[in-house]
Structure 1
C-alpha cells in the first residue's frame, strides 16, 4: 500500500475519534446546526439585549433599555452565573409591541438580594452596552 493511501486510511479511521466535542459561543443570534452521524440538531440562540446603560447603585443593578412604551423588568430574564467571576446576563423574553415614542428608553432595577448578589462582589455584565 502506498504511503499516501496509508495516511489517508489512518486519517479516515481517526476522524470520528477527533470530532466528539463541539464548543460554540455566540451572542449574535446565529442558527447553529450540529451533525453527529445521521442525527442533526439545530439550535437558534437569541441575541443578547443591547443595553443603553448599566450602573450599580443603592444595592441594585439599574439598566436602561430600549422601549416602545410597555417594557418592564418582568419582560426580562436575568441569569447570574458564578464562576471565576460572577456574570450577569439580561435577556428580553417578552417583546415590547407598543407604539409609544420613548427616545430615552426606560430604566429597570433589580436589587442585589433579588439576584443573589453580595455587596462588594465582582460582577461582569455580558450584554453589549451602546455608547452614548
Structure 2
C-alpha cells in the first residue's frame, strides 16, 4: 500500500469519530441570557475593587446590565461586612459585551467607611 492510499484509509477511519462535532453558526437566533446559575448562591464576577469612589464589580453583560437590575448587598452579621453582587433580573439584551461592564456603588450607598475591611462573597472568574 502506498502513502496516498494509506492517507485515504486513515481519513475514512477517523470520519465516524468526527461526526459528533457540533458547529453553531454565529448568525443563529440564540437566546443568550446572563443569570445566576441555580447551583450557586451568587453569580461569578470578573473583577472587584475598592477605591475612593467606593466598590466596583465587573460583571458579564448582554448590554442591559446596570444598577437597576443588579445590586450590591452588605451583610453586617459577622465580624466584618460581607458584600455580594446580586442580579435582580436577567440581562435579556443581545449586545454581547466582551469586556462586561463595571458597576460602582459609593461607600455612602453601601453604608461603609473607607477604613473597613470587607469580604466579597461572589466567586471570581478569570477573564
Alpha-carbon separation, structure 2, partners of 1:76 and 1:119: 22
Structure 1, 77-86 or 99-108: larger mean CA deviation: 77-86
Alpha-carbon separation, structure 1, partners of 2:118 and 2:58: 18
Alpha-carbon separation, structure 1, partners of 2:37 and 2:59: 18
Matched pairs, number:
91
Alpha-carbon separation, structure 1, partners of 2:97 and 2:112: 30
Q: Is the 8 A contact 1:51 1:128 kept in 2?
A: yes
Mark the runs of 5 or more structure 1 residues left unpaired by the alignment. 1-26, 31-45
- Where is the strand percentage greater, Structure 1 or Structure 2? 1
- Aligned counterpart, 1:114: 109
Structure with larger RCO (C-alpha < 8 A, sep 6+): 2
- Secondary structure of the corresponding residue to residue 114 of structure 2: coil
1:93 and 2:88 matched: yes
- Deviating above 4 A after TM superposition, structure 1's stretches of 4 or more consecutive aligned residues are none
Deviation at 1:28, TM superposition (A): 6.9
Mark the runs of 5 or more structure 2 residues left unpaired by the alignment. 1-35
- Aligned counterpart, 1:81: 75
1:29 and 2:24 matched: no
- TM-score (norm: length of structure 2): 0.66
Relative to structure 1, the CA distance from residue 47 to residue 81 in structure 2 (aligned partners, 3 Å threshold; closer, same or farther) is: closer
- Aligned counterpart, 1:128: 123
